[in-house]
Amino acid sequence: MVEEAKKILYSAVQPTNNLTIGNYVGAIRNFVALQNDYDCFFAIANMHAITVRQNPAELRQRTLSLLALYLACGINPEKCVIYVQSHVPAHAELCWTLNTFTYVGEMERMTQFKDKSARHADNINMGLMDYPVLMAADILLYQTDYVPVGLDQRQHVEIARDIAQRFNNVYSPTFKVPEAMFMKVGAKINDLLDPSKKMSKSSENVNGSVFLSDDKDTVIRKFKRAVTDSEACIRYDSENKRGVSNLLSVYSAFTGKSLEEAEREFAGKGYGDFKLAVGEAVAEKLAPIQKKQAELFADKEYLNAVLRSGAERAAKAANRTLAKVYKKIGFYQI
Ligand code: TYM
């Protein structure tokens, strides 16, 4: 019997700031869950990272730290291609080509560009605006079927689809048109102090974000302070009870229990007990990941070997697509 080829899955995380439980719940834990069923490419998006000024030593350190985190969370480098974006030149090359299929107006309208321009008004560089095109290049190079991401990336995956379709229409089918994949629970984890906005690595108030590097006491303290409401009832209602619903999502994601199970478990309990239980569930899950990440981080030789092999495998797949593109657009080949 001929085995059916697996569908291709692609995602990436930027090695910037401290990663939050939002990054874990919305993205990384899903990479682990999906790795057996798909051919996976997971990148460390350091080229996206420099659209906001980075300290070079920190960027280098965070790149390895993110790799150690991927591995500590359970992404298996034997099964998945794990690599650093800048190690595969095809990303920059395809990005340049796709720029000529992307309109300035549509980039100016992107929500994240508008947000980041407001936050970094002193450095609204071309890269910041071009960010979604580089992301489209990432995804399209690998003939990706699915892109597991958090909800904040929906618009970027949409534009990747538009660009792919535009190119395919001008020439002939060249790129697979990818689809975003969102998890039912946890596609948007919100800030603990302002549950109307997404939990972010770069939030002004660090108490609203739980970082993957936070120790147990810090995690519990942050959850204890989380904003809820005055109803004193633990039920999921993301419109009217944003704080409580956010905590239920976190609890569900970290324990593997459904939202309904979580609601039943806390029926009749007070918010104090509930917040403590959520904090404990998170801290309990993070501790072994942190320990493993620290061990792996110390083994630079192993990490470099993973990246070398990842870059080689990624480049092979990426160059195949890039060669097709160059041929179609009329770049002379020797
Ligand atoms: P980044 O580094 O901002 O975030 C990495 C992943 O974490 C998800 N995420 C969240 N999910 C739920 N709740 C939250 N509060 C939360 N915060 C972040 C993000 O949706 C993302 O999935 N541009 C991307 C990186 C990237 C990429 C790609 C992703 C570069 N190329 C190609 C997919 C495909 C980014 O900045 O993610």
CATH number at residue 275: 1.10.240.10
**Residue nearest atom 33 in ligand 1 by C-alpha distance:** 11
**CA 114 → CA 106, 109, 128, 154, 208, distances in Å?**
12, 7, 10, 15, 22
* 231 lies in the same domain as 265: yes
Distance 139 CA to ligand 1 centre (A): 13
Q: Which residues does the annotation mark as catalytic? A: 116, 198, 201
**Residue 3 pLDDT more than 90?**
no
* 176 lies in the same domain as 48: yes
**Residue 2 pLDDT more than 80?**
no
Give the confidence band of 4 by pLDDT, cuts at 50, 70, 90. confident
Q: What is the DSSP letter of 11?
A: E
Ligand 1 neighbour 26 (Cβ under 6 A): yes
Ligand 1 neighbour 285 (Cβ under 6 A): no
pTM: 0.96
Spatial neighbors of 69 by CB under 8 A, at least 6 apart, are 19, 28, 212, 289, 293
Ligand 1 neighbour 314 (Cβ under 6 A): no
Let me know if residue 210 belongs to a domain: yes
Tally of structural domains, the chain: 2
Give the confidence band of 119 by pLDDT, cuts at 50, 70, 90. confident
**Helix, strand, or coil here: 305?**
helix
Let me know if residue 36 belongs to a domain: yes
Let me know if residue 201 belongs to a domain: no
Q: Return the pLDDT at 217.
A: 98
* 177 lies in the same domain as 216: no
Range of the domain at 259: 206-294
* 168 lies in the same domain as 216: no
Ligand 1 neighbour 249 (Cβ under 6 A): no
Let me know if residue 191 belongs to a domain: no
Distance 22 CA to ligand 1 centre (A): 9
* 225 lies in the same domain as 251: yes
* 280 lies in the same domain as 147: no
- The mean pLDDT value for 227-245 works out to 95
